[in-house]
C-alpha cells in the first residue's frame, strides 16, 4: 500500500517561502488505480517527487509497503510527461528499456525477455533497434511506458504522461494503461489535470485543492471495469462523475482566488 500522511512541503530559498503542499493524506491500496487531479500549479509534481523519494517533505511522511520513503523506493517506476527528455537519444529503443534492468542487476537472458515482453505489451514489437528520434511522440511515450513495465514495478507513478501527445494517441495510450494495469496487477498513481481522463482511467479519483494543497474530495469511479472511449464517455454515470469532479475543481479555484 502507498500511504501519504499529513504531507507538507514548503520551498524556501532566496528569502522567499512557498508552501506548495499544506496537508495531504490519502492511501492507494495494492493493485488500485488512483488518479490525482487538481488545478495547474497545485503541487502535483511536488507530491510525486516526494512519493518517489526525489524530494524531502518538510513534514509528514510517505510509506510504501509500510516502509518510510527516504530515497527512490525499490519496486517503483515513474513515467514523466516529457518523454523527449526521459529517453536517451543516442540509445536504441532496446537499450533505453534495458538500462534500468542493468542497474537492477538482472541477468542478460532475463533482460532480453523482459524488454521484448514490454515492447510487445505496448504494441512496439519490431522497433527495438530504432532510435527514439525516429519515432513519433506517441511511440516515444510507449517506449517510456515499456521501460517502466519491463522493470516489473509494484508501483507505477505517472506524471501527466499524455499531456504532450495528440488527442487520438492520448486515447490509445489511456486504453493501454488500463489494459496494462489489469494485466500486471500493478498499483498505479496517475496524475493529470484532465478531469475526463481521471474519471475514464481511475478506479478512484482524488481531487486536490489549489496550492497550498489539501485533498479537496475523493470518489470511487463506479463505472464497469471494461471501458471504451466511445461508450464509457457517453455513459450518464460518467457524465455525473465528471461533473462532480469539475465542480470540486472549480470550488478549489474559487477558494484560491479569495
Ligand atoms: N523548486 C521550487 N522552488 C520554489 N517553488 C517551487 C519549486 N517547485 C515548485 N514550486 C512552487 O510550488 C507550487 C507547486 O508546484 P508544482 O510544480 O508541484 O505544481 P503542479 O501542480 O505540478 O503544476 P502544473 O500543473 O502547472 O504542472 C507552485 O506554486 C510552484 O511555483
Do 2 and 70 have their domain in common? Answer: yes
- Over 70: is that where the pLDDT of 6 sits? yes
| pTM summary value | 0.91
* Ligand 1 center–CA 89 separation, angstroms: 28
Domain end, chosen from 112, 130, 152, is at 152
* Ligand 1 center–CA 208 separation, angstroms: 14
* Ligand 1 center–CA 256 separation, angstroms: 15
For residue 47, give the ligand 1 atom closest to its CA.
18
DSSP string computed for the chain = -EEEEEEEEEEEETTEEEEEEEEEEEEE-TT-EEEEE--TTSSHHHHHHHHTTSS--SEEEEEETTEEPSSSPTTEEEE-S-HHHHS-TTS-HHHHHHHHHHHHT--HHHHHHHHHHHHHHTT-TT-TTS-GGGS-HHHHHHHHHHHHHHT--SEEEEESTTTTS-HHHHHHHHHHHHHHHHHH--EEEEEES-HHHHHHH-SEEEEE-SSSEEEEEEEE--S-SS--HHHHHHSHHHHHHHHHHHHHHHHHHHHHH-
For residue 48, give the ligand 1 atom closest to its CA.
18
Domain count, the chain: 2
Domain with 94 in it: 82-152
- Over 90: is that where the pLDDT of 98 sits? yes
Is residue 223 domain-resident? yes
Do 160 and 50 have their domain in common? Answer: yes
Do 199 and 251 have their domain in common? Answer: yes
| ipTM associated with this complex | 0.95
- Over 70: is that where the pLDDT of 258 sits? no
Q: How confident is the model at residue 2 (pLDDT cuts 50, 70, 90)?
A: very high
**Ligand 1 site, CB within 6 A:** 11, 18, 20, 40-46, 193, 211
Is residue 250 domain-resident? yes
154-187 confidence digits (pLDDT tens): 999 999 888 888 888 889 889 989 988 998 889 9
Closest residue by CA, ligand 1 atom 15: 43
Is residue 141 domain-resident? yes
Is residue 140 domain-resident? yes
Amino acid at each position: 500500500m502507498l500511504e501519504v500522511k499529513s504531507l507538507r512541503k514548503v520551498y524556501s530559498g532566496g528569502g522567499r517561502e512557498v508552501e506548495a503542499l499544506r496537508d495531504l493524506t490519502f492511501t492507494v491500496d495494492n493493485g488500485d488505480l488512483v488518479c490525482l487531479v487538481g488545478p495547474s500549479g497545485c503541487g502535483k509534481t511536488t507530491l510525486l517527487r516526494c512519493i518517489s523519494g526525489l524530494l524531502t517533505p518538510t513534514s509528514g511522511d510517505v510509506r510504501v509497503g509500510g516502509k518510510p520513503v527516504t530515497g527512490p523506493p525499490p519496486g517503483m517506476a515513474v513515467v514523466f510527461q516529457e518523454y523527449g527528455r526521459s529517453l536517451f537519444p543516442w540509445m536504441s529503443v532496446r537499450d533505453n528499456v534495458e538500462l534500468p534492468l542493468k542497474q537492477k542487476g538482472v541477468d542478460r537472458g532475463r533482460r532480453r525477455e523482459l524488454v521484448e515482453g514490454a515492447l510487445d505489451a505496448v504494441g512496439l514489437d519490431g522497433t527495438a533497434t530504432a532510435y527514439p528520434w525516429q519515432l513519433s511522440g506517441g511511440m516515444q511515450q510507449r517506449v517510456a511506458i515499456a521501460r517502466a513495465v519491463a522493470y516489473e514495478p509494484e508501483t507505477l507513478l505517472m506524471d501527466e504522461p499524455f499531456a504532450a501527445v495528440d488527442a487520438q494517441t492520448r486515447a490509445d495510450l489511456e486504453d493501454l494503461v488500463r489494459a496494462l494495469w489489469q494485466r500486471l496487477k500493478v498499483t498505479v498513481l496517475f496524475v493529470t489535470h484532465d478531469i475526463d481522463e481521471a474519471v475514464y482511467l481511475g478506479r478512484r479519483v482524488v481531487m486536490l485543492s489549489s496550492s497550498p494543497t489539501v485533498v479537496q474530495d475523493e470518489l470511487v469511479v463506479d463505472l464497469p471495469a471494461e471501458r471504451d472511449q466511445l461508450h464509457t464517455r457517453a455513459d450518464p454515470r460518467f457524465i455525473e462523475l465528471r461533473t462532480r469532479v469539475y465542480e470540486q475543481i472549480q470550488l478549489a479555484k474559487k477558494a484560491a482566488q479569495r
